[in-house]
Amino acid sequence: MDSEAENKLFQTLGNIQGTQDAILKRLDSWSDDCKGRLVDCNRTFAKLDDRVDKIEAADAASTKKITTIAATISTVIATMAAAVMAWFGYNK
């Protein structure tokens, strides 16, 4: 191999290595970008999970209130029915 062919070979190898380095840098940049986006997504999911927990807690509290009100109304109706029956003499 003559010196001119050797120079072309080394230039080609240098170009290939430069291209590889550029590709690796770009891949590293994409990797960092993906990691950053993943962190953002995890934060968003955590916020959504907190909101769901708050909604579920509020729903549980509302359900408990409704159950308490329903039980109170049932007691009042039963008491009223017993009073009406007693008033008409049906509790003998």
Helices of type H across 2-92: 3-87
Token pair recorded at residue 54: 């708050």
Report how far residue 72's alpha carbon sits from residue 88's, in angstroms, rounded to the nearest whole number. 24
Report how far residue 56's alpha carbon sits from residue 71's, in angstroms, rounded to the nearest whole number. 22
Question: pLDDT tens, 3-34?
Answer: 888 889 889 999 999 999 999 999 999 999 99
Token pair recorded at residue 83: 């009073």
Question: pLDDT tens, 41-77?
Answer: 999 999 999 999 999 999 999 999 999 999 999 999 9
pTM of the model as a whole? 0.55
